[in-house]
Each structure stands twice: as C-alpha cells, then as structure tokens.
C-alpha cells in the first residue's frame, strides 16, 4: 500500500522548514519548475488537516522570489492560494487521485507538478495505514501483533494540555513490551506492560493515526475518527 512511502516522523520538521523560502540555498527535497521561478515539494507528505485529520499534502510556491513576484496556486485547475514575496508558499491538500499542482506566475507563464495520491482500495487516503490485520472483540481492538490493544468507542474527558473536553481512547500494552506510542506522527509516551500499562490518547478533528512501535520488530496501527475534536462532558 502507498502508506509506506510517507514518513510521519519527519512531518512537522519538513512543514516548518518549507514555511520559509528566502532563497535557493534554503530549499532541499523539492523540485523546481521549468521557469526556474517556482517550486513544489519533492514528494507527498502527511500532515494534520484542521478538519479531516491526517491527510496528504505538498508545499508549492515561488522559488527565489523577487519583491514584485506574485502567483496563484491551482489544484486540478481550481485556485487554492495566492503567494507573493512576503508569503512565498502555501500548503496544498491533495485529493484521492493523481493531482496536478500548478503555480501560475503573474505575466510569466505556468509551472505544473504532478503527485499521485491515489489510495489503495478501502484506504481513506494514502496517509491512513491499513488495520486489516487487527481484530475487534467487544469494545477493544487488538493489533495483529497482539502486543497492544485500544478501546474502540471514544470517551470524553478534559484534556489537561488543552484545557478542553476532547474525545479520547485508551491504548494498552499486552505484555512486557517496550512500546513507543505516537499520535499523528508525534511521540506521546512509552508503555512497558509493567509499570506503565496504558495511556489515554486524545483525538483531534478528523482521522487520527495512533501507532505503538516495538522497536524494529513491529508497529501496531490504529485509526480513530475524532469528529470535531470536541465533546460534552457527562
């Protein structure tokens, strides 16, 4: 499946790095348009969409922008953003197909870039891993490795980190395994099955990806829909 081509670990760093594009030396891992005045990401990355959760995206914009440079960014011929010298790039959220991202330079032509974000059958998008090997018993989903499990139906609790009521699920370590737990590519905690056997996982809007990695031996994956990311306390 296509999920394996994308790295959650480098996600936030890449997005932050591409947020500023002062000159050519600042750009790595990108492709420059034929005009030499535009660029787009070298490949698809996964990031948190504010509504839909984990989703495929790229950055596109002006390369080595001059002070009077302006451009419109299109996704499959529909405008999605405007860029200029002070704001030289934009995030483009891709659809579940082969997408064309175009940077239309004011009075200087158009550069186009193609990205294949076609998901596998049954896959919500290419950033959502398959959980076909997992098994659900009652309100608990067990990973294929059986090293971890997670509650299926989210509860509602106050998130001390945000000060808001949010939906959450509980992740459990089933045995004395050291599990590195991440939520949407961001490390959350470690479980060891003895002194730390479980952890609550608060959900953000849209599809959330929770992973529990036992080193290089196995990685358990779970997908939960956080809805709007808010809930009403009982």
User: What are 70-106's pLDDT values in tens digits?
Assistant: 999 999 999 999 999 999 999 999 999 999 999 999 9
pLDDT higher for 137 or 107?
Answer: 137
The topology under which CATH files domain 135-225 is Immunoglobulin-like (2.60.40)
What is the Cα–Cα distance from 187 to 212, expressed in whole angstroms? 10
pTM for this prediction = 0.83
When pLDDT is cut at 50, 70 and 90, the band that residue 195 belongs to is: very high
Give percent above pLDDT 70 in the chain.
Answer: 88
Q: 11 Cβ partners below 8 Å, 6+ apart? A: 45, 46, 47, 185
- For residue range 121-152, list pLDDT tens digits in order: 989 999 999 999 999 999 999 999 999 999 99
50 φ/ψ sector (left φ>0, alpha ψ -120 to 50, else beta): alpha
pLDDT, position 28: 60
pLDDT, position 20: 39
pLDDT, position 9: 37
Domain boundaries, the chain: 2-116, 135-225
């Amino acid at each position: 499946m296509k999920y394996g081509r994308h790295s959650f670990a480098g996600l936030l760093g890449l997005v932050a790095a591409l947020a500023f594009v002062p000159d050519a030396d600042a750009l790595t891992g990108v492709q420059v348009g034929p005009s030499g005045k535009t660029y787009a990401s070298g490949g698809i990355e996964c990031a948190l969409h504010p509504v839909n959760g984990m989703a495929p995206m790229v950055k596109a914009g002006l390369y080595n922008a001059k002070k009077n440079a302006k451009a419109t960014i299109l996704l499959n011929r529909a405008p999605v953003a405007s860029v200029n010298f002070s704001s030289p790039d934009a995030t483009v959220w891709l659809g579940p197909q082969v997408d064309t991202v175009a940077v239309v330079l004011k009075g200087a032509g158009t550069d186009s870039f193609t990205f294949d974000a076609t998901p596998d059958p049954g896959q919500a998008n290419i950033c959502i891993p398959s959980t076909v090997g997992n098994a659900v018993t009652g309100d608990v989903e067990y990973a294929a490795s059986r090293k971890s499990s997670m509650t299926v139906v989210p509860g509602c609790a106050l998130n001390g980190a945000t000060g808001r009521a949010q939906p959450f699920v509980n992740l459990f370590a089933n045995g004395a395994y050291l599990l590195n737990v991440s939520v949407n590519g961001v490390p959350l905690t470690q479980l060891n099955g003895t002194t730390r056997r479980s952890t609550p996982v608060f959900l953000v809007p849209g599809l959330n990806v929770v992973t529990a990695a036992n080193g290089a031996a196995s990685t358990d994956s779970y997908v939960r829909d956080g809805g709007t990311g808010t809930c009403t306390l009982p």
